[in-house]
Amino acid sequence: MSQNYENGMVVSPQPEASEAGYEILRAGGNAVDAAIAMAFVQGVVDPMMCGIAGFGSMAVYEPESGRHEYIDFHSPAPGSATGDMWEDLIEGEARDGYGFILKGRVNDIGYKSICVPASLRAYATAHERHGSMPWKELLARAIRWAEDGWDVRPHVHYFWSQPAVMGRVANHERIAYTPAAKALYCREDGTPKQVGDRVVNPDLARTLSVIAEDGAEAFYTGEIGKKIVADMEANGGLVSAEDLAGYQAQINVPVVSGYRDYKVTTNQPPGGGLMLSLMLNILEHFDLAAMGHNSPEYVRVVAEAMKRATIDKDEGIGDPAFLDVPAERLLSKDYAAECAGRIKRGEKADVPRFDPAAPSKDTTHVSVVDGNGLCVSMTHSLGMPSGVVTEGLGFMYNGCMGVFDPRPNQPGSIAPGKARFSSVVPSIIFRDEEPYVVIGAPGATQIAMGVLQAVLNVLDFGCSMQEAVWRPRFSATSNAIDVTNRIPRFVTEELEGMGYEVIRNPQSFGIAWVHGIRITGEGLDGGADPGADGMTLKVPAG
């Protein structure tokens, strides 16, 4: 069946970003142009989620040429980092596996938590390889939002106001950590700005204007880079001029696997693609539709697949430049069948945690399809934001050091130039060799779990994309099963009767914020996760 791309569609967690992507497509730009413009706007209007000093992964598929690649931009540890630098500060590991708790929280907030900024370099790389509009045009809308200001949305306020969870620093501490951040995002009494409060960021507008004129080099080796390095040196940061100048995004082929009659393409390590592929390979051995969506047996089976993928992730998925990742075994159908057999026999996988201490979601996503069928799925993030905003620059840095394992000689241990594992898993699923689902999500360690369930909702349960991202979700990245509040109690009571610990989140939505586009012969069908403030926009004819 030939797919109908209509005139294109954009979807993201922020209305302002969706508007930017829509305007780019209407003006004749392609999907990559739209995704880059959206990413720049997201860095302005969701500044704790992403930005030019973040990291991520972008899938690009060109139907005419068949060119399919990932631009991976995982922030590496600075050159001065060492494997044992924090070994004597360990207090524990977060229950969900997303980072370690250290004395003084040096890995979680502040200058030492910052890895090498990667996002801006990746945006520029994507534009060089695939873009069609002038670079300057792609920053114009973000500059305007920074100059004119934007109103705090409900989801932004909710995120900024979150208390500390699992031993991590509370987000209200992050936005008040440096004077520059506090001036932007807090009221005069030091509390986070409320829904409807205005955020105006002239410093970021100036920074983006320099980048619009001089390109990404202004950030990595030019005047912005010099200010970054001076601030790092003055405050004990690890990032150096050499780190900035040497950073380049990686171009990778996708991880490819099959699920029933579909081809699943996703990202290479240290992204979460192998986890998603393994879980789908395991679940291929079950008639999920016959179980009933979110029935006790469905939740048990899918949760056990999640746990087994988490164990394999913890033991061996990381930066392939530093670790021999067992990709062949994890993609093996025989290994998946072995895992499925254990689940069918009722075996419970054990997910070990080092002295364990609610999931974090410091990430965002865009999905774009243009009228020519060019598909883009990009997830980008600050990790756990560092809280650091350099005076006069206006953007927050990533806090990627927080997810490294501070124990030496572990798969996730710190090493100079090494990128830590990230669950980001932007993916494109094909049906009959044509793109069918373009999908991804923010959600920290829960990203792959949220994307998995939305994919199952489409492929096994025949959902539209909006229904697929609306249905309630659960996750198992430890021995407990985390559920959102719309999972019925009669389901969780039966799971508890099976011996599972079930932890109920009071939120109606959660376990990642999934955003995607389904491409059919009838046209484009988008879904924006109702747990965020996002929006789907279809480009009209004419």
Q: What is the pLDDT of residues 86-145, one digit of tens each?
A: 999 988 777 655 678 899 999 999 999 999 999 999 999 999 999 999 999 999 999 999
pLDDT at residue 98, rounded to an integer = 62
Quote the CA–CA distance of 169 and 82 in Å, as a whole number: 23
Closest to 215 in 3D by CA, of 52, 54, 364: 52
Which residue is listed with tokens 């026999």? 345
Per-residue pLDDT for 12 more than 60?
yes
| Mode of pairing for the β-strands spanning 67-73 and 250-252 | antiparallel
pLDDT at residue 324, rounded to an integer = 95
Q: Identify whether 363 is a catalytic site residue.
A: yes
3-state class (DSSP) for residue 117: coil
The string of pLDDT tens digits covering residues 342-385 is 999 999 999 976 544 344 445 789 999 999 999 999 999 998 89
Closest to 395 in 3D by CA, of 135, 5, 54, 128: 54
Backbone CA torsion sign across 23, 28, 31, 32: negative
The string of pLDDT tens digits covering residues 505-530 is 999 998 999 999 999 999 999 999 99
Quote the CA–CA distance of 225 and 371 in Å, as a whole number: 37
Quote the CA–CA distance of 71 and 429 in Å, as a whole number: 17
Active-site choice (125, 178, 310, 363): 363
pLDDT at residue 158, rounded to an integer = 87
Beta carbons of 14 and 46 less than 8 angstroms apart = yes
Per-residue pLDDT for 1 more than 60?
no
pLDDT level of residue 444 (50, 70, 90 thresholds): confident
Instruction: Of 6-20, 183-197, 355-369, 379-393, give the lowest mean pLDDT range.
Output: 355-369
pLDDT at residue 355, rounded to an integer = 41
pLDDT at residue 364, rounded to an integer = 87
Mean pLDDT of 320-347: 97
pLDDT at residue 138, rounded to an integer = 98
| Distances from the Cα of 217 to the Cα of 1, 210, 241, 248, angstroms | 44, 10, 12, 11
Per-residue pLDDT for 214 more than 90?
yes
pLDDT at residue 360, rounded to an integer = 44
Mean pLDDT of 442-467: 94
Neighbours of 359 (CB within 10 A): 24
pLDDT at residue 53, rounded to an integer = 98
pLDDT at residue 166, rounded to an integer = 60
List the end-to-end C-alpha distance of the chain, in Å, as a whole number: 25
- In this structure, what token pair is assigned to residue 61? 């598929």
Highest mean pLDDT pick, 258-267, 411-420, 444-453: 258-267
